[in-house]
């Protein structure tokens, strides 16, 4: 069916598939890297990067454990 609609040689079809896959992979990787970078900046500084929308992110502020008075972050790690 593809051969009837796209009468080009197999090598061009494979090339087009590889190029389309590379572009899609690059776009997804770039978006996920930006999300990770924004989260890292937010957790380090407590502020969102300039020009970024606010997503629901974990709070960088530690919470205090009532029993032992040890400050713990969202993940349960002890914080000085």
Entry pTM = 0.51
pLDDT at 17 (0 to 100)? 92
Asked if residue 53 lies in contact with residue 38, where contact means CB atoms within 8 angstroms, the answer is no
DSSP 4: H
pLDDT at 15 (0 to 100)? 93
Question: Which residue in the block uniquely carries the two structure tokens 């494979």?
Answer: 14
* Max Cα–Cα distance, the chain, nearest Å: 73
3-state secondary structure of 80: coil
Q: Say if residue 8's pLDDT is above 70.
A: yes
DSSP 63: E
Q: Decide which of 51 and 40 is more confident.
A: 40
Write down the domain spans for the chain.
2-72
**Other Cβ atoms within 10 Å of 50 Cβ, number:** 6
pLDDT at 36 (0 to 100)? 92
Q: Say if residue 29's pLDDT is above 90.
A: yes
């Amino acid at each position: 069916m593809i051969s009837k609609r796209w009468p080009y040689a197999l090598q061009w079809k494979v090339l087009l598939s590889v190029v389309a896959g590379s572009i899609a992979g690059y776009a997804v990787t770039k978006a996920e890297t930006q999300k990770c970078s924004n989260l890292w900046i937010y957790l380090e500084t407590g502020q969102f990067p300039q020009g970024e929308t606010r997503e629901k992110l974990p709070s960088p502020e530690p919470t205090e454990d009532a029993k032992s008075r040890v400050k713990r972050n969202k993940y349960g790690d002890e914080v000085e």
